[in-house]
């Protein structure tokens, strides 16, 4: 059978079917967002990840023209958030706040998702791990390292089998030091308090978690686990400067399902990057000791989270957390 224009009806039908997805995808992008957007985090209210997410949303709401709400899914160091996220539609109306904690969960085969299941959107923070000590406990970074070669010390951390203790373990291992003991705490605030009290010899913290105690002269940043020194504490050496090839950061960023319509994902990325380059979010970064280099699009964020998952997998295997 042919149409009135002489084309076989089957060919016309196939051509029409091929056009529909293109038009549908364009329509989705044009209509998006038409309702409230959820942003899923694994942190409780007031945690670093929760605060970063809410600060991003302040301007992103305006850029996207829709309300955004935080959905907190605590548990398993990020596993619960991944378990929840894998059940939501890939339509761009649920965004995941992805952290190094999720990378560790994925490296251990937990959470029900793999890195290929996600499409990176944008990075919000790149916050180096810092080894901190009670002021006066050590003469400096070199003394801190020397003492650990003589005998193991106790580190305070906020997670086990995650970036905090992995950072300390790998620092000691790569630096030829004694294997440290680990003592977990519920959060950075409690850890900072116990470090001052002498319950631990050192703490693995981010700059914002101990900013008040640092300003008070009670806690001293001793070694930064980053490629370069941090501007806010420029006198503190990096592990690499001390001959120890270790670099770990608490990264926080955003992702959507890998099969989210590309036009929708691109719209989200443009909005989030613009929002986080606004003075409101940049002021937040400055308040926690970071700068504008924390913000990056998917071209930077994508390769970084793949590398983070792979590095966490290798470190956790080396330290015996996974086979």
pLDDT over threshold 90, residue 82: yes
Residue-level pLDDT at 280: 97
pLDDT at 19 (0 to 100): 43
Give the global pTM. Answer: 0.78
**CATH number attached to the domain at 29-127+250-318:** 3.40.190.150
Average pLDDT value for the chain: 89
**Consecutive H or E run containing 213:** helix 211-215
Asked if residue 311 has pLDDT above 90, the reply is no
Distance CA 309, CA 206 (A): 20
Who contacts 317 (Cβ-Cβ below 8 Å, separation ≥6)?
Answer: 323
Q: Once rounded to an integer, what is the mean pLDDT over residues 235-255?
A: 94
Tokens of 307: 């590398």
CA–CA gap between residue 37 and residue 24 (Å, rounded): 20
In the structure, what pLDDT confidence band is assigned to residue 39 with cuts at 50, 70 and 90?
very high
pLDDT value of position 20: 42
Instruction: Judge contact between 64 and 8, C-beta under 8 A.
Output: no
Does the structure show a pLDDT above 50 at 278? yes
The Cα 122–Cα 265 span in angstroms is: 11
**What are the residue boundaries of the structural domains of the chain, listed by start?**
29-127+250-318, 128-233
- Do 29-127+250-318 and 128-233 have matching folds? yes
When comparing pLDDT for 238 and 75, which is higher?
238
User: Taking a C-beta distance cutoff of 8 angstroms, is the pair 104, 161 a contact?
Assistant: yes
- Taking the CA atoms of 283, 284, 290 and 294 in sequence, report the sign of the dihedral they define: negative
CATH superfamily of 128-233: Periplasmic binding protein-like II (3.40.190.10)
pLDDT digits (tens, 9 = 90+) for 261-274: 999 999 999 999 99
**Do the bridges between strand 94-99 and strand 249-257 make them parallel or antiparallel, or are there none, so unpaired?**
antiparallel
Model confidence pLDDT, tens digit, residues 182-230: 999 988 889 999 999 999 999 999 888 888 999 999 999 999 999 889 9
| pLDDT one-digit tens code per residue, 1-33 | 444 434 444 433 433 444 444 444 444 567 999
pLDDT digits (tens, 9 = 90+) for 142-183: 999 999 999 999 999 987 778 889 999 999 999 999 999 999
> Cα dihedral angle (251, 252, 258, 259), rounded to 10 degrees?
-170
Look at strands 37-41 and 94-99 and give their pairing. parallel
- Average confidence (pLDDT) over 111-118: 96
């Amino acid at each position: 059978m042919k149409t009135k224009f002489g084309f076989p009806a089957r060919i016309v039908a196939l051509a029409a079917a091929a056009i529909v997805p293109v038009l549908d995808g364009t329509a989705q992008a044009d209509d998006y967002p038409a309702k409230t957007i959820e942003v899923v985090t694994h942190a409780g209210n007031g945690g670093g990840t929760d605060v970063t997410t809410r600060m991003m949303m302040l301007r992103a709401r305006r850029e996207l023209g829709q309300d955004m709400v935080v959905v907190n899914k605590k548990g398993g160091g990020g596993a619960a958030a991944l378990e929840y996220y894998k059940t939501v539609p890939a339509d761009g109306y649920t965004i995941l706040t992805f952290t190094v904690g999720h990378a560790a969960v994925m490296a251990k085969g937990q959470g029900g998702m793999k890195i290929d299941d996600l499409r990176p959107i944008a990075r919000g923070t790149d916050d180096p791990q810092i080894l901190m000590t009670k002021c006066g406990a050590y003469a400096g970074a070199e003394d801190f390292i020397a003492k650990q070669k003589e005998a193991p010390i106790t580190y305070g951390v906020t997670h086990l089998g995650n970036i905090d203790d992995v950072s300390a373990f790998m620092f000691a291992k790569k630096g030829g030091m004694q294997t440290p003991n680990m003592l977990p705490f519920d959060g950075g605030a409690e850890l900072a308090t116990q470090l001052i009290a002498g319950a631990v010899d050192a703490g693995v913290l981010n700059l914002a978690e101990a900013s008040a105690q640092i300003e008070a002269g009670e806690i001293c940043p001793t070694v930064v686990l980053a490629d370069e020194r941090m501007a806010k504490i420029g006198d503190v050496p990096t592990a690499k400067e001390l001959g120890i090839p270790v670099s770990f950061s608490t990264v926080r960023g955003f992702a959507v399902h890998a099969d989210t319509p590309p036009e929708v994902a691109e719209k989200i990325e443009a909005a989030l990057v613009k929002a986080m380059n606004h003075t409101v979010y940049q002021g937040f970064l400055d308040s926690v000791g970071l700068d504008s280099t924390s913000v990056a699009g998917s071209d930077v964020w994508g390769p970084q989270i793949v590398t983070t998952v792979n590095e966490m997998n290798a470190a956790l295997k080396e330290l015996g957390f996974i086979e």
